[in-house]
Amino acid sequence: MEAIVFVKNYMDYLDEISQVIKPELQPILDELKEIDPHDLVRPDSWFQSESEARGFVWSMFVKRTKEDSKIQSF
């Protein structure tokens, strides 16, 4: 998958995540929606499959969730 296809599908991937997360995690997803997907990949970037692209977005979500939980634990 070329970078431009990822950019085109980015919001769809976030929408998929929103369908399966707890409502209290929605603010994290809202933060990710503010990111321009062009900033996440270079024009010459590519993913081996759509599953890999989805995994990339999921990993960003999980990382933000973990970061947020560390902040709240203080």
More confident of the two residues 69 and 27: 27
The Cα-based distances of 54 to 31, 70, 71, 73, 74 in angstroms read 17, 25, 26, 29, 31
Residue from 6, 33, 5 nearest 18 by CA = 33
| Contact criterion met (CB below 8 Å) for 3 and 42 | yes
Query: Where does residue 6 rank: exposed (0-12), middle (13-18), buried (19+ CB within 10 A)?
Result: buried
**Each residue of 15-38: pLDDT tens digit?**
999 999 999 999 999 999 999 999
pTM for this prediction: 0.88
Q: One-letter amino acid identity for 2?
A: E
